[in-house]
Every structure is written in C-alpha cells, then in structure tokens.
Amino acid sequence: MIDQTLLPDQEQERIAEQPEQVIEAIQQLAVRGAPAIGVAAAYGLCLALRNCQHIDEVRSRFQAALPAMRAARPTAVNLQHMVDRMAQIESSTECSQLDGADLKQRLLAEARAIDEQDQQFCRAIGQSGAELIADGSTILTHCNAGALATAGTGTALSVLYEAWKQGKRFQVLADETRPLLQGSRLTAWELQKNGIPVEVICDGAAGSFFYNGEIDIVITGSDRVAANGDAANKIGTYTIASLARAHQVPFYIAAPSTTFDLTIANGGEIPIEQRPAEEIWKPAAQQQPPEGISYRNPAFDVTPASHIAGWITEVGILKPPFEEIRR
C-alpha cells in the first residue's frame, strides 16, 4: 500500500507481511478511508495464513486474527462488514470440506472479490453522481474520499473524475481537514495529479466561501450511514453540512452500500473514534503546547439525514429507507 502518512512529500510503498502490520497501518492511517480499510483488512486476514498448510492451523490462525482486525478502527463500518464477509466464507458449508491449501485459496479469492467490487462501486458512484456537477461550478469537499480512500477511483472524488471525463469543467475547494490534513495533503495531491483545479482552504474558512456565494455544491464521503440516513464522516463534516443548509447549498454524501449500516436506527448509535491528543499539535505546531493541557479529539462527526440531499451509491441516488440495497 502507499504509506499515506508520508504524502505528499514522499510516495512510498509500505509492505505488510503479517496481519498485525495491516492493523498498525490502519491505526496509523497509513491506509485510510472507509472502503480502503475494508479491503486492506480482507487481505490482512489472508496474511495470517502464510506458511501454514494444515486445515486445523489455517482455521485457528484465521479465527485468531479476526477480533483485532475487526476492531482496528471503530467508525467506518466497511471494516467490520469486510471482516464479517471473510469470516462467513471461512465458516460456510461451501468451505467445510476443503483442505488447508484450498481454503487459503478460497479466502484470497474472496479478498480479491472485495477489492474488485469496491473498484466497480467507485465507478458506479461516479456515474450516479456526475449529473449533479454543473459546468463552471465550485465543489467543496472535506477530508479525502478519493482513490487513496478506496480500491478504485474514490467516492466523492469519483463523482468529480467522472464529471471531468464527461467534459464538464469546474473547480474544487478542499478543506484542509485538521488535524491530520487529509484535505491539503491527500485530496489536493490526488486532484492535482488528475489535472482538476483545486484550492485548499482552512477548515474555518468554509463559512465565508458559502457567505460569498462561491460554493455551488458540497460532496463528501462517509464512514457509516445509519438506517435513517445520518452519516458519520471526518470531524468537521457536520459543520460544513450545517453551513450548506444555512446557505441553501446542496450537501451530498457519496458512499457505496458497504458503508451503510442499516442495523442501526440513527447516528447516535455510531461509535466515534477518539484519537491521540498529539495529533492536534504535532503536524502543524512548531512548539509543544503547555504541559498538562488536555484535549478532546473526536475523529468523526455525524451529519443528520435532514441535512443530506441524497445518498449517491453504485445503484443510484437513494433516499431512506434505502429499499434498493436492503438485503
């Protein structure tokens, strides 16, 4: 995987040979974004099976790797969905008679299917959402919901890539996205690489851009969408959704069905990750804060369904109760 902690200064690969290294990469945000961590986790489980052949050992190593992989990060439900999908294959009747080598092959094939499905969902999300982008418009996005965050072309950014491919011309404002700067480091890097005009703004600046009428539409990704449409995404998303609402600018969530958690009624049930305090001061500050100062550092917030104009998925632009994707 590309080590996203080093971007944009260095484009360096990070190799994982053990599931623990995948977990560490997920926790450090070397690999990040809801769909990408789901795909990484599926491959990470396969790494637990290296250098073992006997069916009992394959099964016990796989089972042992599941809980920590599933718990690597709490908010993005893709991670749990993909770990559960791998676990279901392992315990399926289809796999009950397999020997060790064949079970390993079957699990690797499932990880590859998860990877390919995500790529296909990204393309379809782009096609679902491209119609929302008007020629000459300005789009605000938050965090990074692009190729770096998925196995394919992204979710929110896939919409932009597809619209650009269709010949529409527009510009993007990328929120810096404090404290880890996914907007200024990753979204700006990705869009620039693809030739799409992008400017980075401080998170706190978004309001004035809305006030000045410079933003036509907001599209972000999501880490988990509840049954009523409440959507968790990077901390600060609710702020821009509220600003969009106040200024009557449409706010869209772009996410694959694997990001929807229809088992929970609303965003109040979404677990919000708390991250280390030093993330707030380390990246930007030259000096450390006064000793003993305390912080609160939630990594995501929840945007109420009432603020979301539509849920752009691989099967179209949906509304709650999401009948199209109920299993």
List of residues contacting ligand MRU (CB under 6 A): 29, 32-35, 76, 143, 145, 149-150, 154-155, 182, 220-223, 233-234, 299
Helix/strand/coil percent split, the chain, to 5: 45, 15, 40
Select 25 or 89, whichever has its Cβ closest to ligand MRU. Answer: 25
CB nearer ligand MRU, residue 34 or residue 130: 34
| Angle at the Cα of 266 from the Cα atoms of 144 and 121, rounded to 5 degrees | 40
What are the structure tokens assigned to 232, written together?
Answer: 């968790």
The C-alpha torsion from 144 through 256 and 27 to 2, rounded to 10°, is -60
Grouping H, G, I as helix, E, B as strand and the rest as coil, residue 296 is coil
Least distance (Å) from ligand MRU to the CB of residue 59?
31
H/E run at residue 111: helix 100-129
Q: Among all residues, whose Cβ is closest to ligand MRU?
A: 221
Residue 272 CB, nearest distance to ligand MRU (Å)? 11
CA 128/CA 236 separation, integer angstroms: 25
In the complex with ligand MRU, the residue whose CB is nearer, 103 or 253, is 253
At closest approach, how far in Å is the CB of 43 from ligand MRU?
A: 17
Any catalytic annotation for residue 216? no
Select 234 or 307, whichever has its Cβ closest to ligand MRU. 234
Q: How far is the CB of 8 from ligand MRU (least distance, A)?
A: 15
| Phi, then psi, of 265 in degrees rounded to 5 | -75, -40
Cβ 263 to ligand MRU shortest distance, Å: 19
Looking up tokens 């979710």 gives 155
Tokens of 290: 């006064």
The least CB distance from residue 105 to ligand MRU, in Å, is 29
Cβ atoms < 10 Å from Cβ of 290: 6
Cβ nearer to ligand MRU, comparing 20 with 273: 273
Q: Is the peptide bond before 289 cis (omega within 30 degrees of 0)?
A: no
The DSSP string of 17-76 is: -SHHHHHHHHHTTSS-SHHHHHHHHHHHHHHTTTT--SHHHHHHHHHHHHHHHHTS-SS-
Tell me how many degrees the CA angle 159-160-166 measures, rounded to the nearest 5: 95
Q: How far is CA 281 from the centre of its chain?
A: 24
Catalytic residue among 175, 223, 230, 301: 223
Q: What is the C-alpha to C-alpha distance for residues 198 and 195, in angstroms, rounded to an integer?
A: 9
> Smallest gap, in angstroms, from Cβ of residue 32 to ligand MRU?
3
Angle at Cα 7 formed by Cα 301 and Cα 141, nearest 5°? 40
How many Cβ atoms are within 10 Å of 287's Cβ, its own excluded?
6
Nearer to ligand MRU, 25 or 103 (CB): 25
Q: How far apart, in whole angstroms, are the C-alpha atoms of residue 224 and residue 271?
A: 10
- Which residues are designated catalytic? 223
